[in-house]
A = this chain, B = another copy of it.
Amino acid sequence: MVYILGLNGSPRTYGNTYKLLKIALKASEKTGAETELINLYEYDIKDCIGCLTDEPLSCRYPCVIEDDMKAIYDKILKADGVIFATPIYWYAPSAIIKRVIDRLTALENMVFIDGRSWVEGKVAGIIAVGNDSGEIQLISLMYATLNSMGFIIPPFASSFFNQKDDVMDDEETLLEAANVGRSVTLMARLVKDFKNIWFDVKLKEWIPKVKSEVKKVIKDNREKIFRERIQVITKLMRE
């Protein structure tokens, strides 16, 4: 059975962010997952202090900062999928979600310590809720961030709402939130038994073998079009 963790980054446990996260997790359960919802505002999560710039290998699990992030780390390590639900504060996640993200570096940076990001292969979903706009700016940032850490983004991995009304009356958005929960769970189940690694450092040894082949193609292409391009390009130059 897969375990899907929902992180609520809204201070309001009765608002639209919470509602959509709840719907998503219910859909995860329906799709065969065990789930848990955490209200981050109930946790003391301190700012990352950027250790790795002073000492690259010092950023690792467990993080040197002693606070409630310890509990969150352990839940994330256990999770097959994580749904980040956040209000849209100035086109970005709330600062508490941001602190969780920054502190996740301690898991991601394990790549330099035991060869593998500790969140590699986990599945991510996003729920973003605001009063007016900025949802895609937020979602795109989260996708780029989480994917760089090793998370999988399954199809239609996000749901958003950007109006002041009660989202419970918006069937279309509820359907999308439910599908975030479903898609994250389906993907988590699909990769559950995948025993391979995703980022393979050993490809380094293989690269030299293809390098010369690629260089040959480049040389041919260059000969074919470079002369013509340079004629066009330099047409108006006057040194």
Q: Does A136 contact B (CB under 8 A)?
A: yes
Bound Cα distance from A63 to B164, whole angstroms: 22
**Copies of this chain, whole number:** 4
Which residues in B have their C-beta under 8 angstroms from that of A196? 186
- Number of A residues with CB within 8 Å of any CB on chain B: 113
The residue of chain B having its C-beta at the shortest distance from the C-beta of A121 within the complex is: B155
- In the complex, the answer to whether A201 meets B213 with C-beta atoms within 8 Å is no
Q: Does A232 contact B (CB under 8 A)?
A: yes
Binding site for B on A (CB under 8 A): 10-15, 18-19, 22-23, 26-27, 30, 41, 47-55, 57-58, 60, 62, 64, 87, 89-92, 94-96, 98-99, 101-102, 105, 120-121, 131, 133-137, 139-141, 143-145, 147-148, 150-158, 160, 162, 164, 168, 171, 174-175, 178-179, 182-183, 186-187, 190-191, 194, 196, 198-201, 203-204, 206-207, 210-211, 213-215, 217-219, 221-222, 224-226, 229-230, 232-237, 239
